[in-house]
Amino acid sequence: MTALKLAIDRSSAVPLYHQVVRGIEAAIRNGDLSAGSRLDNEIDLAAQMNLSRPTMRKAMDELVRSGLLVRRRGVGTQVVSNEVRRSPEITSLFEDLQEAGGIPTSEVLAFSREPAYGTVAESLHTPPGTYVYHSFRLRRVDGRPLALMENWIREDAVELSEALLSSRGLYEILRAAGVNLRLAHQRIGARIADDAEADRLDIAPGSALVTMLRVAIDDKGRSVELGRHLYRADSHSFEMTLVNR
């Protein structure tokens, strides 16, 4: 039953409910709210911060969805656990690696502008024969090979070049071009590396690879990017938190 004093700034451009979300996240992170501790009820919390109950509730909805809080009707609201992470968001490998403190680099093995047919055209929802960018890159972290990444990108979303792809992550380039990705559909599996792949990733032939196929869709509903990536299984796995209801 922690008293939880959060500073709400009504003159800020940040929505009030979002300030509450950030505040509670911070309180959990720095230990003011410990795992398992109970919060005051919604109405009191709202009153304490001079907010309406719906605004308070909207903030708590978000925290429940992201897995930080658990609510039980008739009982109350608790902090779940320090260890449970946030819901998965659409992030690029480049950014994930940077956040983890590594130095990612990209070597562009091939880059072209070419007509899309078959699966590629279907995935990007373009008429067969539409020109798209096609890239094939080797991603290293701190100099060690980690992933082979093949991508197809719609031409009408962004202007790409080999030089650009060598220096920055694809998602960073897309964002800079005003493309807001909203949805990504992924399929994660596994297979054995062939000799060429093993050679490029610096592993023994026959080693295991994690495979990912992804289609990313922007806020205008366009299927902007198709990616077919191969990761060294000894260096990469996918983590996610699923939330029910």
Confirm or reject binding of residue 187 to DNA (CB under 7 A). no
Confirm or reject binding of residue 74 to DNA (CB under 7 A). yes
Distance in Å from the first CA to the final CA of the chain: 25
Min dist. Cβ of residue 10 to DNA (A): 8
Look up tokens 């009982």; give the residue.
Answer: 75
138 close to 200: Cβ distance less than 8 angstroms: yes
* Residue 166 interacts with which of its own copies, DNA, none, CB < 5 to 8 Å by class: none
With the CA atoms of 183, 100, 229 and 114 taken in that order, what torsion angle do they form, in degrees rounded to the nearest 10?
A: 70
Query: What is the spatial distance between Cα 244 and Cα 169, in angstroms, rounded to a whole number?
Result: 33
Query: What is the spatial distance between Cα 58 and Cα 233, in angstroms, rounded to a whole number?
Result: 40
Confirm or reject binding of residue 4 to DNA (CB under 7 A). no
* Residue 43 interacts with which of its own copies, DNA, none, CB < 5 to 8 Å by class: DNA
Residue from 5, 18, 29, 65 that binds DNA (CB under 7 A)? 18
Confirm or reject binding of residue 54 to DNA (CB under 7 A). yes
Residue from 17, 94, 152, 231 that binds DNA (CB under 7 A)? 17
* Residue 103 interacts with which of its own copies, DNA, none, CB < 5 to 8 Å by class: none
Q: Which of 174, 211, 178, 175 is nearest to 192 (CA)?
A: 211
Query: What is the spatial distance between Cα 114 and Cα 102, in angstroms, rounded to a whole number?
Result: 33
Stretch that binds DNA, among 65-73, 101-109, 137-145, 163-171 (CB under 7 A): 65-73
Confirm or reject binding of residue 244 to DNA (CB under 7 A). no
Provide the binding-site residues for its own copies, judged by CB under 8 A: 36, 54, 65, 67, 70, 72, 78, 80-81, 83-85, 88-90, 125, 180-192, 206-211, 217, 219-221, 223, 233, 236-245
Confirm or reject binding of residue 48 to DNA (CB under 7 A). no
Confirm or reject binding of residue 52 to DNA (CB under 7 A). yes
Confirm or reject binding of residue 71 to DNA (CB under 7 A). yes
183 close to 216: Cβ distance less than 8 angstroms: yes
Min dist. Cβ of residue 131 to its own copies (A): 22
Contacts of 75 (CB under 8 A, 6+ apart): none
Look up tokens 């992470």; give the residue.
Answer: 85
* Residue 51 interacts with which of DNA, its own copies, none, CB < 5 to 8 Å by class: DNA
CA angle 121, 209, 152 (to 5 degrees): 20
* Residue 196 interacts with which of its own copies, DNA, none, CB < 5 to 8 Å by class: none
Look up tokens 């109970």; give the residue.
Answer: 38
